[in-house]
Amino acid sequence: MAIWDPAVVELGKQKPDLDWLDQNVGTWLNYVFNHELDVILDGSNRPVYAMENGVRAKLETFASIEAGVRPLIDAVRGESTGPANPHERLPNRKPHPDSTVRTSPTAVHATDLVDIRGKAAVASVMRMVPDSHKPKAAAGSEPLLVSIRYLNTSLMHDLQRVRGIAGARFTRTVADGASGEYSVPLSSFRGRRIGYFTWRPEMPGKAILGSVLLQGGVALLALLVLLAALIAGIGRLMSRDARSIAVLEEARLQLQAKESQAQYLAHHDPLTALPNRASFSKFVEESIADLGAERQLGVMLIDLDRFKNVNDTLGHLAGDRLIQAVAARLVNCVGANNVVARLGGDEFAVCITDCSGTEQLAGVAEAALAELRGPFEIMGSVVHVGGSIGIAICPAQGTDKTELLRMADIAMYRAKGSGRDGWRFFSPEMDESIANRRVIEDDLRAALRSGDELFVAYQPKLDASGAQIVGLEALVRWRHPTRGELAPDAFIPVAEDCGLIDLIGNWVLGEACRVALNWPELSMAVNISPVQFRTPGVAQSISSIVREADIDPRRIELEVTESILVEDDELVKAALRELRAEGFRIALDDFGTGYSSLSYLKKFKVDRIKIDKSFVKRLGQDPEAIAIVQAVIALGHAMALSVTAEGVETEEQGCLLQVAGCNELQGFLFSKALLESELHALLNHAFTPLASGHRARSASA
């Protein structure tokens, strides 16, 4: 929770939404982890939010605990010098030799036993930082999450219920051994005695020994009095021993039940009760060994689409409910003899144990996608997700479980990269593609380190007459040392997959703004990757870059693809609204190649649509092409949108587009994309209007 983009973004606002913090932070920590008190501090250690026992509390609550947690705050801020204890990760300090820390490497936190309001408690203070490459606050000024859990409340109840520790409780004084209770001292790692952990140990051996000694004494006394009393004493002894044995048997059965529970949890996902990764792997291995002749086995990996959107907008509880609902639907649709497992996060796996071939596997994949496409009602909201599925087949593609899972994983990512909400069978070509992508990723990282291989080229956009340049489009290129000049299609998808797209996208925007300063009369179009657009805080990041360059946002046109709109992502909607409010114009790139739905144009406000070059190329060759282009232009104008045509290469195409009412033209007919140093000559070039029937090309075309 402390390492989460949406929480950091919300706390970065001048007035954070307290209702949002209730639902996504306070309630979550209280409900899932039984925190009695949580307080969020700003960079100056002032409280900005508090929740106590599941109810929002006054900010003054912090004053009552500040003295107890102040050493932890100082430790996390780096303002104290003591060594870290085994449960802490502190700034500029080595971890404890016996460290038990399993948190993210970016986590900084301090934990200890403290006295709070006269009660003993476990306290934790943790820096709140992003979980992505989003810029962080300056070290030492991050928000802090302060969490309290008292020892004598649900924590002790959990020890009694889950660990089977009878009478577990916290006491200020040591227990009297004669009462059958024992105590061990509890001290903070900073050397302060807090109290004692007291419990009542189970000692069946002592009980039996006491019983035997007691009855032996009675028997000896009875021997001196009467033989009959001896017989009666022996009978009573045997009865008591039988009861003691029964107690031991009950303890053995309880231990056996706990072992069974541990075995179950080791092989099942606790949220969905589905088999986990280890159990699924074992099942696949056993199924391969039992596979009969002429039969096949299919392994599917399923990754949910848009799950992060649900988590970020509705909270982690809603995300958990969605995972449970997805699990139930998948189990219902794959058949009784097959196995569904949850591998972790939003990733599931299916093993089809006895399939006849690819048609059956394709049918199962389609059925699973149909279930995932249906609406889910989660905590009062209706959400839509979807999925991407990869399939590998045994024995056709191998009989090793690890290889089959790897192949299915590769196919799944191919499905996701092909537009999501689909399925793919693994093919050997995918392996070659993966190897090639790894090489490109390594080379791209080296290029970013060197700083002299990536560059931006600029292609002009002309008005409908074809005579006047009205704007430029910034296009990133890569001057690869061995492959030559590479267009974006060759490396941008790799950058999106490996987490480099934000860095590249922000650099291109900064370069475009720098060049735009030289020609204030021209607009500047910049492409924004769908992956970058789904990054939390993208609107603030874009606005910041443009403001630092001293450019009017109204001169910047951000080009996005239709796939962003189709996903119906709340984060995308919010980012578009925020950017348009700042003055940026939004252009829908490659219009006509995807869904091209009127409803999307109404729902997501845009300023321009760009007709894809595949339609422009057919003008003058295909009679239907001009009808399609005219329809797109009419649609755009009916919705008060400007229309740009890309890929104009011939005089005839330009004239047809002009007559159809297109507002802007772009393509090799006018100029290819040029270096910054070539722009001055281009902008001073006199273009002949299209109507003259003569096309003067730029010297560089």
Q: Cis omega (within 30 of 0) on the bond before 395?
A: yes
CA atoms lying within 13 Å on the CB side of residue 663: 17
pLDDT for residue 197: 80
Q: Is residue 177 part of a domain?
A: no
* Domain extent for 601: 440-685
Spell out a b/e string for 435-445, using b for 16 or more CB atoms within 10 Å of the CB, else e.
eebeebbebbe
Question: Do 579 and 468 share a structural domain?
Answer: yes
Question: Do 445 and 588 share a structural domain?
Answer: yes
The Cα–Cα gap between 642 and 375 comes to 35
Q: For the ranges 37-41, 178-182, 401-405, which has the lowest average pLDDT?
A: 178-182
Proportion of the chain above pLDDT 90, given as a percent: 37
Question: Do 349 and 289 share a structural domain?
Answer: yes
Question: Do 452 and 556 share a structural domain?
Answer: yes
3-class secondary structure, 584: coil
Question: Do 369 and 259 share a structural domain?
Answer: no
The CATH number that applies at residue 627 is 3.20.20.450
> Which pLDDT band holds residue 232 (cuts at 50, 70, 90)?
low
pLDDT for residue 219: 46
Question: Do 625 and 549 share a structural domain?
Answer: yes
Question: Do 376 and 298 share a structural domain?
Answer: yes
Lookup: tokens for 679: 């722009």
The CATH number that applies at residue 105 is 3.30.450
Question: Do 255 and 296 share a structural domain?
Answer: no
Mind listing the pLDDT tens digit for each residue in 472-513?
A: 999 999 999 998 999 888 899 889 888 899 999 999 999 999
pLDDT for residue 645: 93
3-class secondary structure, 247: helix
Proportion of the chain above pLDDT 70, given as a percent: 83
Q: For the ranges 498-512, 557-571, 605-619, 625-639, which has the lowest average pLDDT?
A: 557-571
Q: For the ranges 157-166, 429-438, 484-493, 578-587, which has the lowest average pLDDT?
A: 157-166
The CATH number that applies at residue 384 is 3.30.70.270
> Which pLDDT band holds residue 699 (cuts at 50, 70, 90)?
very low
Q: Is residue 475 part of a domain?
A: yes
What total number of domains does the chain contain?
Answer: 4
Mind listing the pLDDT tens digit for each residue in 328-356?
A: 999 888 876 789 999 988 999 999 987 88
pLDDT for residue 595: 52
- Count of residues in the chain: 701
pLDDT for residue 117: 84
687 C-beta neighbours (distance < 10 Å), count:
21
Question: Considering all CA atoms of the chain, what is the largest pairwise distance in Å, rounded to the nearest integer?
Answer: 138
Q: Is residue 174 part of a domain?
A: no
For residue 259, CA distances in Å to 5, 66, 252, 263, 421 come to: 39, 42, 11, 6, 41
Question: Do 355 and 420 share a structural domain?
Answer: yes
Backbone torsions φ then ψ of 99, nearest 5 degrees: -60, 135
Residue of 494, 504, 522 whose CA lies nearest to 455: 504
Question: Do 534 and 418 share a structural domain?
Answer: no
pLDDT for residue 693: 43
Question: Do 306 and 246 share a structural domain?
Answer: no
Q: Is residue 196 part of a domain?
A: no
What does pTM read for this prediction? 0.50
pLDDT for residue 244: 62
Mind listing the pLDDT tens digit for each residue in 535-576?
A: 888 999 999 999 999 999 999 999 998 777 766 567 788 888
Residue 389, pLDDT > 90, answer yes
Q: Is residue 697 part of a domain?
A: no
Q: Is residue 224 part of a domain?
A: no
Q: Is residue 156 part of a domain?
A: no
> Which pLDDT band holds residue 267 (cuts at 50, 70, 90)?
confident
Which contacts qualify for 197-205: CB closer than 8 Å, 24 or more apart?
A: 197/168, 197/170, 198/167, 198/168, 198/169, 198/170, 198/171, 198/174, 199/165, 199/166, 199/167, 199/168, 199/169, 200/166, 200/167, 201/166, 202/166, 202/251, 204/244, 204/247, 204/248, 204/251
Number of helices (H), then strands (E), in the chain: 24, 25
Residue 47, pLDDT > 80, answer yes
Question: Do 256 and 336 share a structural domain?
Answer: no
Residue 264, pLDDT > 80, answer no
1 C-beta neighbours (distance < 10 Å), count:
17
533 close to 564: Cβ distance less than 8 angstroms = yes
Q: Is residue 411 part of a domain?
A: yes
